[in-house]
Amino acid sequence: MNPMIVTSLILAVTMVLFIWNKLPAAVVAVMSLLALYLTGVLTMREALSGFGDPLIVFIAALLGIGIGLETTGVGTWAGQWLIRHAGTSRKRLIASLLILSAISTALIGMNGAVVAMLPIAVIICVRTRLAPSQLMMPVSIACLTGAKLTLLGSPVNVIASTAADAAGGPPIRFFEWSIVGLPLFGGALFIILVLGPLLLPKRSSDSLPADFSQHAHTLVEQYRIADGVFRLRVRAGSPFIGKTASGIDLSQYPGVSVLGLVDDQDVELSGEEAKEGNNLLVRGDAQGIARLANDLHLAIREPLSESQAVTNALFNRSSGLAEVVIPPRSALIGQPVFPGMATHEGDLIVLAVQRGGQDVAGPSTQLLAGDHLLFRGTWEALDKHFSDPQILMVDSPQMVRRQTIALSRGARQALIILALLVVLLATNVVPAAVATLFCVTLMVLTRVINLNQLYSIDWNTCILVGGLIPLATAMSKTGLAYLLGDFVIQAVGSGGPRAVMAGLFLVAAALTQVIANNSSALVMVPIAVASALELGVSATPFLIAVALGAGAAHMTPMSTPVNLVTYGPGAYEFGDYWKIGSLIVLWSLAVVVFIAPLYWPF
């Protein structure tokens, strides 16, 4: 059979499977490349070439950098600043949140940004009594349009920029995306603020994420640990010098327990040996604390008498609190436990034990199913123990930290590395894949992120792109892309290059409502390049049209994870999206036709 016909059939089946949405998109992409190899359209090297493409390295490294910025609390810091300074005006709060969403997307990508913005949107809804359905979709729109502000915003931008370079034109630089991104977001913001209250539904939601802004204070009050907490400064000659917090034995001081070892800024010194000038956080009655300080050369700094002071000392950038429940059949049932006890690794300390909502009496007790324990330790230690099947974590430490801890450990290094990445991408000193790989390696070396966090990268995106690159290769190799490009030109070519741009945008926008935006871009890129060759014009403006069309996923909820994240919290129905989404798509078309060619001429 003619290779072009085979490729057409494989493309059609791939699109049907994407629309059917019963198989993971990454699996469909891999099936398409296997079909291209088994039918002889592509050689084995061509079929597997997508997974060795620098584009995959670039996207994976970008996602890793986004994880580093998200987990170090950069987005949380910006959100807390917004709530403090935006005032009480509802429109000002909404506009500020959407601007912040767009900026965050430009820095960490739209998927990470929408997750970071969701809890901030929840707080705004609570404080202004705004229906969640009036705010959640605008956050999605802000992230989708803000993705066109920089190269980092979306993998679609990377795909288009790489294709422009491969087509013989200059790649679309890091900040050049703002040429279309700024008017795109500005128009979307205007539509939301003016027409949003009329076009968006007014519904409450039962699936809003929890507000953890008072989480630590609630735990301190629930477990009644605010009373009797002291800071003891380690003086020269103290036998505690050289010992870790978990290695300190206070069995001779009944009722006194160690909560942790910190420096003068209350930064946790987990696993480190105590030095002169460090502070020991302890809990107990004043008489026992005084005897401990006198016997062991410790200076009592001050009692942390206020609940908020205790909360700040126990819950901060370096350390946090976690509440766990002992489930039935846990191997921990029957194990002895007491306040001040450290885990086997010494990285977590038990602050309190409750049974039936009441503190367990006595210095030690054996655990029963249903017992509640309050642990304190570094965020890294809490994350490590989060997956322990012997306990049930009441609230995810990661979710709590992302909402409440701004600019946590590693934030400064993450921002410096981000600035370095921007410089490398803007100046094109090294290839983009090398620049991002270098920067994500720096994040690992500086301990901004660890390897386990890198494993949580959305590898589905990488597999999807790697699996569809061979389909684009086959479309070009067999001439199918040129045939489709010729069809587009025959349909709208009489109107000139701008009409072709509009046609490419509309086809890409239609596809992205039912399949992933990355898939839509990868399918349309070879058609755009072929159309440009047919007309004898630059491919870059056509690729801009494809990128904006593939990113215009505003009319259905399943077209992108950005919409799916806000779908439940906004209590939306399928038909809610087209009302305001169609206006955003039309504005995107106007940006493509009238603004993009001013900077990227034909």
SS3 of 362-403: CCCEECCCCCEEEEEEEHHHHHHHCCCCCCEECCCHHHHHHH
As a whole number, mean pLDDT of residues 187-204 equals 90
pLDDT of 208 over the 90 cut: no
Q: Which of 513, 572, 568 is nearest to 206 (CA)?
A: 568
- The CA-atom distances, in angstroms, between 303 and each of 198, 287, 431 are 55, 12, 56
pLDDT classification of 20: cutoffs 50, 70, 90: confident
pLDDT of 500 over the 70 cut: yes
Can you tell me whether residue 60 is helix, strand or coil? helix
283 with 229: CB under 8 angstroms?
Answer: yes
Can you tell me whether residue 174 is helix, strand or coil? coil
Cα-based torsion angle of the residue sequence 557, 561, 562, 564 in order, rounded to the nearest 10 degrees: 40
CA–CA dist 201, 570 (Å, integer): 9
Give the pLDDT confidence score for residue 58 in this predicted structure. 77
CA–CA dist 157, 216 (Å, integer): 40
Give the pLDDT confidence score for residue 40 in this predicted structure. 92
Give the pLDDT confidence score for residue 75 in this predicted structure. 64
Q: Which amino acid is at 446?
A: T
Annotate 333-349 with b (16+ C-beta within 10 A) or e (fewer).
beeebebbbbeeeebbb
CA–CA dist 79, 93 (Å, integer): 11
Give the pLDDT confidence score for residue 191 in this predicted structure. 95
113 with 146: CB under 8 angstroms?
Answer: yes
Neighbours of 328 (CB within 10 A): 8
350 membership: H or E segment, kind and range? strand 348-355
Dihedrals φ, ψ of 283, to 5°?
-130, 135
Give the pLDDT confidence score for residue 444 in this predicted structure. 92
* DSSP track, 537-554: S-SHHHHHHHHHHHT---
∠ at Cα 316 (383, 343), nearest 5°?
A: 45
Dihedrals φ, ψ of 257, to 5°?
-135, 150
258 with 250: CB under 8 angstroms?
Answer: yes
pLDDT classification of 493: cutoffs 50, 70, 90: low
503 with 488: CB under 8 angstroms?
Answer: yes
CA–CA dist 245, 272 (Å, integer): 8
Query: In 209-337, at which residue ranges do the beta strands (DSSP E only) sit?
Result: 229-234, 257-262, 279-283, 298-303, 319-325, 336-337
Dihedrals φ, ψ of 327, to 5°?
-80, 165
pLDDT classification of 250: cutoffs 50, 70, 90: confident
CA–CA dist 285, 180 (Å, integer): 64
Tokens of 308: 């908020």
Give the pLDDT confidence score for residue 304 in this predicted structure. 61
Q: Are strands 336-337 and 279-283 parallel, antiparallel or unpaired?
A: unpaired
Q: Where do we find the tokens 């086959």?
A: 474
Dihedrals φ, ψ of 167, to 5°?
-80, 0
Instruction: Give the global pTM.
Output: 0.66
pLDDT classification of 260: cutoffs 50, 70, 90: confident
Q: Which amino acid is at 191?
A: I
Could you read off the pLDDT of 115-135 as tens digits, one per residue?
777 767 877 776 677 888 898
Tokens of 387: 């997956």
Q: Which of 72, 75, 79, 58 is nearest to 154 (CA)?
A: 58
pLDDT classification of 189: cutoffs 50, 70, 90: very high
CA–CA dist 192, 158 (Å, integer): 28
Dihedrals φ, ψ of 364, to 5°?
-150, 155
232 with 280: CB under 8 angstroms?
Answer: yes
pLDDT of 187 over the 90 cut: yes
- Ordered by where they begin, the domains of the chain are 64-210+416-455 (no CATH), 215-314 (3.30.70.1450), 319-404 (3.30.70.1450)
pLDDT of 211 over the 70 cut: no
Q: Are strands 348-355 and 298-303 parallel, antiparallel or unpaired?
A: unpaired
Give the pLDDT confidence score for residue 192 in this predicted structure. 94
Tokens of 328: 């039935």
pLDDT of 575 over the 60 cut: yes
Structural Rg of the chain based on CA atoms:
28
